[in-house]
Amino acid sequence: MAPTSPANEPSSTRMELIQGMLDQLPILLGVVPFGLIFGALAVSFGIPPLLAQGFSLFIFAGSAQFIAAGLVAEGAPPIVVVLTILVVNLRHVLYSANLAPHFSRLPGRWKIVLSWLLTDEAFAVTSVRYQKNPSRHTHWYMLGTGMILWSSWQVSTTLGIAVGASIPPGWSLDFALPLTFMALLTPTLIDRPAWAAALSAGLLSVLSAGLPYKLNLLIGAVCGVALGLALEMRQERQASGEGAGP
């Protein structure tokens, strides 16, 4: 690819930014409903609307927000909430490792912004973009995906809070939490490590349900992630061994 001339740089960055937003639009059809559910669910748990919106503003992680809302509603200690979220979001370490070579030459301010906007959906489209025909402006593509995801998540959360605040207290929304996690989990069950992680985490969480402070969720998450990673690493070693010829 021929290097981009300085005169074309603004155009190139703008095109990458817009294309990132456009490529994310179809995924928003699945993201926005979960934002609505989170907002409604958070206020139904007794979380103040401003705090519920703050979850989306500062945490900006769908699964982590649902877990935090449920644990806060159950009165779990803050340390349990934080540790559980950290374990669940360990997959972002793998995302970061995948994208790190592309961002290694970026200034620190870019790395901070892009790491903040890194989500499952942003990684999915950005990794594909880097596989196709990357340029030195491709980080603007990820910025576009992250910006539209963050914006839509804020708006959908606000609408969900408004809807949830108008729901009578007698209309329990507790059932929405497990249903939401089932919807988030099912598309990820695509191989043996994923199934092993999900089944072991669920089984251990049920078996240790009598533990205080919802520690069963933390134990299930830690063991499930550990087993999934171990099986994933084993598969990669086997694949590399088979691919290495004499």
The per-residue DSSP string of 117-169 comes to: T--HHHHHHHHHHHHH---TTTHHHHHHHHHHHHHHHHHHHHHHHHHHHTS-T
The domain of 38 spans: 11-173
* Residue matched to tokens 């159950």: 74
Do 58 and 136 lie in one domain? The reply is: yes
Task: 123-130: list long-range contacts, CB under 8 Å, 24+ apart.
Answer: 123/95, 123/98, 123/99, 124/27, 125/20, 125/23, 125/24, 125/27, 126/20, 126/99, 127/98, 127/99, 129/20, 129/23, 130/99, 130/102
Distance CA 240, CA 237 (A): 5
Do 138 and 220 lie in one domain? The reply is: no
Which of 173, 204, 225 terminates a domain? The answer is 173
Q: Quote the pLDDT of residue 7.
A: 45
Residue 183 lies in a domain: no
Residue 15 lies in a domain: yes
Do 52 and 99 lie in one domain? The reply is: yes
Residue 222 lies in a domain: yes
Do 101 and 199 lie in one domain? The reply is: no
Q: Quote the pLDDT of residue 219.
A: 80
Do 194 and 167 lie in one domain? The reply is: no
Q: Quote the pLDDT of residue 154.
A: 95
Q: Quote the pLDDT of residue 34.
A: 84
Which of 142, 173, 204 terminates a domain? The answer is 173
Do 53 and 100 lie in one domain? The reply is: yes
Residue 182 lies in a domain: no
Residue 149 lies in a domain: yes
Do 106 and 214 lie in one domain? The reply is: no
Name residues whose C-beta falls within 8 Å of residue 101's C-beta, 6 or more positions apart in sequence.
none
pTM: 0.69
Residue 145 lies in a domain: yes
Residue 178 lies in a domain: no
Do 100 and 194 lie in one domain? The reply is: no
Q: How many domains does the chain have?
A: 2
DSSP code of 55? I
- Averaged over successive runs of 10 residues, the pLDDT of the chain (246 residues) comes to 46 87 86 86 88 91 84 83 81 81 91 90 86 84 94 93 71 55 62 82 83 73 80 78 56
Do 196 and 108 lie in one domain? The reply is: no
Do 202 and 155 lie in one domain? The reply is: no
Do 98 and 150 lie in one domain? The reply is: yes
Do 158 and 201 lie in one domain? The reply is: no
Nearest to 53 by CA among 164, 166, 171, 172: 164
Residue 88 lies in a domain: yes
Which of 173, 200, 218 terminates a domain? The answer is 173
Q: Quote the pLDDT of residue 19.
A: 92
